[in-house]
Chain A
Amino acid sequence: MSVTTADTHHDDHHHHAPTGLKRWLFSTNHKDIGTLYLWFSFAMLLVGGLMALVIRAELMYPGMQVVDPEFFNQMTTVHGLVMVFGAIMPATVGLANWMIPLMIGAPDMALPRMNNWSFWILPFAFGILIAAVLMSAFGEGNPSAPNFGWTFYAPLSTKYGPASTDFFILSVHMMGISSIMGAINVIVTVFNLRAPGMTLMKMPLFVWTWLITAFLLVAVMPVLAGAVTMMLTDRNFGTTFFDAAGGGDPVMFQHIFWFFGHPEVYIMILPAFGIVSSIIPTFSRKPLFGYASMVYATASIALLSFVVWAHHMFTVGMPLAGTLFFMYMTMLISVPTGVKVFNWVATMWRGSLTFELPMKWSLAFVILFTCGGLSGLMLAITPVDFQYHDTYFVVAHFHYVLVSGALFTLFAAAYYWLPKWSGVMPSKLLGELHFWNSLLSVNLLFFPMHFVGLAGMPRRYADYALQFADYNWWISIGGFWFGLSQIFFLAVAVRCAMKKGEPAPANPWDAPEEDLEWTVPSPAPFHTFDTPPVVK
């Protein structure tokens, strides 16, 4: 094998990189598309963050002050959808685009045209969703934006859904198609474009976790598409999948949704596992402890994630045997998760640790994600969940695993690979400010939610009983503080994009030389590995 180029890529080879708007609109280059994904997801993080601040502004004091409950419901709904489908997922796809070809010694993604499609669908999908919010907020008398929670349970979203629900359905379909295309691209790339000698068990863990994530996506995004299709026909074409009056069953919606929904939470966290598994060895100056066990743990988490979905619906009145099954399976998932945490700690054990920014974020992740895992275990205990279900305790749980979990690793990844992407080192001062402010504020924001949740404060209400007032004030302060802290990151990212900062060497962190991404210059040239490297 002498030349390995991605198939549709001959014309712009080395000679002229397209410029201006066209470069981005028609791009088939994995690095450009990765950059687009990353900027897009950061923009969505800010949009979703603004909605979260509306929520926290309303909840800062008891009683109604900022928005009416109807709009509050739209905020919780669209905040969740934007963060899950617009911020976290596209960010991990962006990282996959940038890093997987560099990590396996491939010249590009295997299906570059599809890659372009899968990105460019997204702005339209979110344009539709956000337009619904803007129209409801600023158009007197317009119907409400989606207001039924990010889990869009029937019949709230079918029979009682506002007119904008049909836009929501279209938007979810588009997001789904985009992520399925992204996932297919990853699988084809990893299967067919690895450099000679790069066997599966030599792949960096980030590639492994993404490969497994991609299979999860291919398996469950179509199920989500099925669910919204049933909603569409229930709403508009007289079917009664979820309508009891016609023989359907609204609880079945929950089963279908969570059959997608639980694997979905692992879709958001597995790439994060891969990121810290790359970063911790570098800054411990030791190889990753238990590489093979990490791969198997990831695979078992993925398999188990298909048989735990009903832990989200313990209270719907399942038979005892079913409840027990889902309870034990859920607890079983924490075993492979525990293996991973153990391996990260063992990697650091007796390593020569240094604490550069990527490592700081990764360490914060390991500790705070474990907190989130522990509250998850509490929720997995069925009788306990009867009390905790739909309270702020659940909100605390999933924000610990998603914000101080997934989002923190995305920042870790950004600080780690920004030198490679941009050619300049991210600003240390701004980065430290970003890290410490985020770390402190995220705990002020989410930790007290455990307490108010245990005390019985329900989620998804625009108001609360007076006894929760003080905690909620602090939570809101944490929220604004966390939100503002992200401006530091905006500054870091913009500075790097403008090439302001210390020039980065090819391997600024002294990463192990098996990690192929550090063997190319910084910034990574437009085309890399046109001749595949040989992996020993």
Chain B
Amino acid sequence: MAEQSLQQRNRKTLTKLVIGVVAMFGFAFAMVPLYNVLCDITGLNGKTNSSAAAGPTALDEDRLVTVQFVASNSRGMPWEFAPETRSLKIHPGEIKQVSFYVKNPTGEHMWAQTVPSVSPGVAAQYLKKTQCFCFDKQQLDAGSDESMPMIFYLDPEIPRHVTTVTLSYTIFDITDRVEAEQSAEKKDLAAR
């Protein structure tokens, strides 16, 4: 019957479209890992390596690149946070250590996470960190301070037009999140 077949056709088209809608909803979430992979490859957004890199393979003594360090706090983060070296000149391939000063001036134990970003974006993939406080969470007791080391080098492949690289860190308060995770773990253990 013509009428029934119309209903069936409608239903078929509808089903396909609903699948399309659900797939696109999923695609929005798929953009998250996709974006991260793209950033890793291209250095988009100045993302640097988030785990220790191996050492340099060559040294380029012909040129010097200025590396600047910037530290800033996210809104509401009470810690003092500043680079101990503001700027230095290095040869690509040369390993350097710098450090950042942090202090927790509050009366409570706190957790923090620092997040690096490099500008210009193209330089991000050439700035290699062999050791960095940003790979881990930081904790400080009330009123205590610390000097946090960071060891890095510039990959000699870094494009010649890049003469200045700025590495900036933002520090975030993650006390709430860490404590929530810890109490969840404790509950888990108790349940076992």
Name A residues whose Cβ lies closer than 8 Å to a Cβ of B: 1-5, 7, 110-111, 159-160, 180, 184, 187-188, 191-193, 218-227, 229-230, 238, 241, 243-247, 249, 251-252, 255-256, 259, 316-320, 322
Contacts and interface: CB of A to CB of B under 8 A. Distances in A.
B119 interface: yes
A256 B10 contact: no
B2 A192 contact: no
Nearest to A250: B45
Contact of B3 (A7, A180, A192, A247): A7
Given A246-B174, A317-B121, A319-B42, A223 B113 contact: no
Q: What are the 9 closest A-B residue pairs judged by CB atoms, nearest first?
A: A226-B28, A245-B172, A222-B24, A222-B25, A223-B28, A244-B115, A188-B13, A1-B2, A7-B7
Nearest to B22: A222
- Residue with the highest number of chain A CB atoms closer than 10 Å, among B14, B18, B120, B122: B14
Nearest to A160: B75
A221 B23 CA distance: 12
B10 A252 contact: no
Contacts of A221: 21, 24
B170 A244 contact: yes
Nearest to B32: A241
A255 B35 contact: yes
A261 to B, nearest CB: 13
29 contacts: A2-B2, A3-B2, A7-B7, A110-B13, A159-B75, A180-B21, A184-B17, A187-B17, A188-B10, A188-B14, A188-B17, A191-B13, A219-B20, A223-B25, A225-B25, A226-B24, A226-B28, A226-B29, A229-B28, A230-B28, A241-B32, A243-B172, A244-B115, A245-B115, A249-B39, A249-B47, A318-B121, A319-B43, A319-B44
B44 to A, nearest CB: 6
B51 to A, nearest CB: 12
Contacts of B3: 3-5, 7
B27 A223 contact: yes
A173 to B, nearest CB: 11
B83 interface: no
A226 B36 CA distance: 17
Interface of B: 2-3, 6-7, 9-10, 13-14, 17-18, 20-29, 31-32, 35-36, 39, 42-47, 50, 74-75, 113, 115, 119-122, 170, 172-174, 177, 180
Contact of B46 (A111, A193, A256, A317): A317
Given A245-B115, A255-B31, 8 more contacts: A111-B14, A188-B14, A219-B20, A223-B24, A238-B180, A243-B172, A249-B47, A317-B121
Given A184-B14, A319-B43, A322-B44, A252 B113 contact: no
Contacts of A251: 45
Nearest to B113: A245
B142 to A, nearest CB: 21
B28 A110 contact: no
B122 A319 contact: yes
Contact of A252 (B18, B32, B170): B32
A262 to B, nearest CB: 15
Contacts of B120: 317
Contacts of A317: 45-46, 119-121
Contact of A192 (B6, B36, B43, B44): B6
A451 to B, nearest CB: 33
A322 B42 contact: yes
Contact of B9 (A3, A184, A192, A238): A192
A187 B17 CA distance: 9
A324 B24 CA distance: 27
B138 to A, nearest CB: 12
Contacts of A160: 75
Nearest to B25: A222
B10 A110 contact: yes
Nearest to B125: A319
Nearest to B28: A226
A68 B172 CA distance: 30
Contacts of A255: 31, 35
- Residue with the highest number of chain A CB atoms closer than 10 Å, among B20, B28, B177: B28
B65 to A, nearest CB: 18
Contacts of A226: 24-29, 31
B45 A246 contact: no
Contacts of A224: 28
A188 B21 CA distance: 14
Contacts of A5: 3
A218 B43 CA distance: 32
Contact of A218 (B20, B28, B74): B20
A347 to B, nearest CB: 33
Nearest to B29: A226
A136 B31 CA distance: 35
A223 B173 CA distance: 30
- Residue with the highest number of chain B CB atoms closer than 10 Å, among A193, A252, A322: A252
A18 B170 CA distance: 63
B68 to A, nearest CB: 16
A515 B36 CA distance: 51
Contacts of B25: 222-223, 225-226
A411 to B, nearest CB: 31
A218 B13 contact: no
Contacts of A247: 50
Nearest to B35: A252
A362 B122 CA distance: 47
Nearest to B43: A319
- Residue with the highest number of chain A CB atoms closer than 10 Å, among B10, B36, B75: B10
A244 B117 CA distance: 10
B36 to A, nearest CB: 8
Contacts of A7: 3, 6-7, 10
Contact of A246 (B23, B50, B177): B177
A256 B26 CA distance: 12
Contacts of B113: 245-246
A160 B75 CA distance: 9
A184 B2 CA distance: 22
A226 to B, nearest CB: 2
- Residue with the highest number of chain B CB atoms closer than 10 Å, among A1, A192, A230, A318: A192
